[in-house]
């Protein structure tokens, strides 16, 4: 049985990624995300406000980095890491050969995607921002050659179209005012916006959860997909590609994690 499973996993990087992520999500107290509780009604607004700053917890960067360092080591060895592979594939598809692309990652945590891009050989002009002082302090210490700012995704301090590509780095789900964050991403993007690792639900309204992330209580929204795509369109973002990290649909109801690549409409 063990050999059969090992053979199956080695033949399917996708299955390997799913299992790796599934195990991390399930390990009590040690995984990235666990103890999900679905919220409804007034609780959603109340808890979103109470936990808005949860990711600013000073203990989070070290705990997140423990897992990230393992993923980066695997990636450096040449192993497939699905979330990294998807992001790299997106950026490779956007290069047009005209100079270095200016890329901003919003919600960059400790800036580890700059290392992913370096390992993948992507020559980019990378900047990262995050609303957590602790994450940005770690990012500056780890990657002194890159540029990092403490910024809230809902009110970015950059001029319109400062960057060729803006990556919304798996942070919308944690932001109660996610519409404002999408608008800001679109505003500072000159050409493309990428909404990485976005959890969506299919055939059902958006879902709201309280959960533990690295042992810290946070909230998480899984967006109704058509409504999310409409929000992108309303902000002048034209969907160009969708990359699916995982998906499960039964009788029209389901969920997925996707990376959406959008081209910004010309003014």
Q: Which residues bind ligand SAM (CB under 6 A)?
A: 55, 105, 107-109, 130-132, 135, 152-154, 169-171, 174-175, 196-197
Output 155 or 249, the one with its CB closest to ligand SAM. 155
State the greatest distance between any 2 C-alpha atoms of the chain, in Å, as a whole number: 58
Our CB check for ligand SAM shows the closer of 101 and 134 to be: 134
Which of 55/126 has CB closer to ligand SAM? Answer: 55
Stated length of the chain? 267
Nearer to ligand SAM, 103 or 153 (CB): 153
Q: Which residues of 1-34 are buried (b: 16+ CB within 10 A; e: fewer)?
A: eeeeeeeebeeeeeebbbebbeeeeeeeeebbbb
Whose CA is closest to 152, among 126, 125, 183?
183
Q: Which helix (H) or strand (E) holds 186?
A: helix 178-188
CB of 251 to ligand SAM, least distance (A): 30
Nearest alpha-carbon partner for 70 in 24, 122, 133 = 24
- Minimum distance, C-beta of residue 229 to ligand SAM, in the bound complex (Å): 20
Output the smallest distance, CB 8 to ligand SAM, in A.
27
Nearest to 240 by CA among 267, 214, 213, 264: 264
Return the H-helix or E-strand segment holding 181.
helix 178-188
If the CB atoms of residues 175 and 193 are measured against ligand SAM, the closer one turns out to be 175
**In the complex, minimum distance from the CB of residue 192 to ligand SAM, in angstroms, rounded to a whole number:** 16
Report residue 246 as tokens.
Answer: 């995982």
- Residue number, 131 or 148, with CB nearest to ligand SAM: 131
Instruction: Output the residue with the shortest Cβ distance to ligand SAM.
Output: 169
Q: How far is the CB of 67 from ligand SAM (least distance, A)?
A: 10
Q: How far is the CB of 96 from ligand SAM (least distance, A)?
A: 24
């Amino acid at each position: 049985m063990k050999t059969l499973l090992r053979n199956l996993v080695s033949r399917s990087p996708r299955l390997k990624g799913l299992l790796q992520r599934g195990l991390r999500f399930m390990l009590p107290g040690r995984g990235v995300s666990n103890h999900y509780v679905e919220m409804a009604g007034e609780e959603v607004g109340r808890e979103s406000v109470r936990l808005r700053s949860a990711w600013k917890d000073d203990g989070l960067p070290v705990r997140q980095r423990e897992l990230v360092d393992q993923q980066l080591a695997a990636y450096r060895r040449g192993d497939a890491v699905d979330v990294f592979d998807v992001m790299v594939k997106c950026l490779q598809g956007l290069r047009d050969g005209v100079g270095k692309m200016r890329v901003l990652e919003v919600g960059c945590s400790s800036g580890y995607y700059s290392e992913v891009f370096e390992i993948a050989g992507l020559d980019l002009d990378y900047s990262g921002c995050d609303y957590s002082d602790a994450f940005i302090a770690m990012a500056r210490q780890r990657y002194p050659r890159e540029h990092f700012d403490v910024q809230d995704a809902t009110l970015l301090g950059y001029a319109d179209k400062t960057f060729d590509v803006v990556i919304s780095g798996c942070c919308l789900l944690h932001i109660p005012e996610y519409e404002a964050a999408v608008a800001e991403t679109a505003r500072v993007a000159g050409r493309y916006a990428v909404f990485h690792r976005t959890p969506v639900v299919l055939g059902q309204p958006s879902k709201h959860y309280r959960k533990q992330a690295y042992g810290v209580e946070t909230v998480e929204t899984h967006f109704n997909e058509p409504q999310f795509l409409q929000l992108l369109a309303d902000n002048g973002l034209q969907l160009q590609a969708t990359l699916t990290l995982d998906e499960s649909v039964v009788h029209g109801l389901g969920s997925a994690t996707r990376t959406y690549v959008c081209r910004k409409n010309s003014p």
